[in-house]
Structures are given as C-alpha cells and as structure tokens.
A and B are shown apart, each in its own frame.
Chain A
Amino acid sequence: GIQVEQSPPDLILQEGANSTLRCNFSDSVNNLQWFHQNPWGQLINLFYIPSGTKQNGRLSATTVATERYSLLYISSSQTTDSGVYFCAVGRLMDTGRRALTFGSGTRLQVQP
C-alpha cells in the first residue's frame, strides 16, 4: 500500500509565527487531503489538493504530484490552530475504493 510520511511529528510555535508542514507519499495518487483534528477530536477537512496550490485564509497548501509531496503552510498562527494535522492520500479508482491512507500527523501547539 501507499506509505505516507509527515514531518515534523511535533511542532511548538509562538502565536503569530509561520510554519510549513510536509507530507511525502510513496506512490502516485489522485486524491490528497489535509485535515485538522482539533483538541476535542473533531476532524475537519482543510483542503482537497491532488495537485497545485490552494489558499483559504491563513492556510495554504501546495502539492507537487510528480515529486510526491505536499506542503501545508500556516501563517500568523493562532492558538486555535493547535491540534493534529493529517495528510491523507488515495487513488480514485472504482466507486467504493475511495478510502484514504493517513500519515501519522503533525502535532502542533501554538502558545500565546
């Protein structure tokens, strides 16, 4: 199966700082998503980004599919950004085979 590696595993930031989270994957994919799991355990879909660049407020993501990596940028971090960020990948093949393979996550703590 596809292997997904995320780095760094842990990250501590001061409020206002910027950060870059990385996701490497071992095979070609046509589905890549970033999720945020907040401290209450809720998983929120941030981006669907199999290739290219997207931005949503202070967050942006870039995927270079040919080089098998994706980056999540967090600018001007806030304490509410704390939690675990997951990269998940998959291959959209037949209907029903859309399960995602998750990386082990980056645990982010933003301190005031």
Chain B
Amino acid sequence: DTAVSQTPKYLVTQMGNDKSIKCEQNLGHDTMYWYKQDSKKFLKIMFSYNNKELIINETVPNRFSPKSPDKAHLNLHINSLELGDSAVYFCASSQVEGGVYGYTFGSGTRLTVV
C-alpha cells in the first residue's frame, strides 16, 4: 500500500483555469504538508496542517488554498493558474513517535501551465 498518495501524477492545463491536487496518507500521521519544487529542484514549504492549526508560508499567493476534509487528506486547490505555477508539487506527512520524527513524501504531481 502506498503510504502517501497524490493524484494526478501529471496535470497539464491552460492559464486561468482552476485545478485541484488530491493527497491521502494511510500512516496515521498527525501533520500534512504541501511543498513546491521548482525547475532548479529547490523545495519550499507551502502549507503545514494538522487538526489544530494551518500554517501558511507567507510567500504563497492566496490563489493557493489547502482543504482538509479529515486528518488523512490534504488537497491543494489552485485558482487562476499562471505560467509560473508550473512545478512539481509534493504532499508529505509526519509524526513524532518514540523520539523519531518520521517524514514521508508522496510521489509528486507535475503541473504544467500552458
């Protein structure tokens, strides 16, 4: 079973469209995240979320919004897509257990805006 799964794996869309990326984790982790990886492979946090708190990176445009129907899911909605939004988006989850901080990434969603 995939621990952190994202869909779709690839997404090609036109400028101005609205799209969503889904993420589900079956690890029972209490915190989920969205990261963006640009064309130079640089990874940057966008959101972190658990059932108590949503932390938004201040550099993220408000066209991006996370939605969490339950603790196992954290979806990413993007409105009015722009060319600069093209990137790979990674979902991740984490939990601290026995003093060890487990962190697991999904396989990524490659978004191309044309």
Contacts and interface: CB of A to CB of B under 8 A. Distances in A.
Contact of A102 (B31, B44, B54): B44
B107 A41 contact: yes
Given A41-B108, A48-B101, A92-B101, A102 B43 contact: yes
Interface residues of B, number: 30
A42 B48 contact: no
A33 B101 contact: yes
Given A48-B101, A48-B103, A95 B45 contact: no
B112 interface: no
B88 to A, nearest CB: 7
B90 A94 contact: no
A96 B90 contact: no
Interface string A62-104: 0000000000000000000000101010001011111111101
B53 A45 contact: no
Interface residues of A, number: 26
A37 interface: yes
A56 to B, nearest CB: 13
A44 B96 CA distance: 17
B50 interface: yes
9 contacts: A42-B108, A45-B105, A84-B41, A96-B49, A97-B55, A99-B45, A100-B103, A105-B42, A107-B41
Interface of A: 31, 33, 35, 37, 41-45, 48, 84, 86, 88, 92, 94-102, 104-105, 107
> What 8 A-B pairs come out closest when comparing CB atoms?
A96-B53, A43-B105, A99-B45, A102-B43, A99-B48, A96-B50, A48-B101, A41-B108
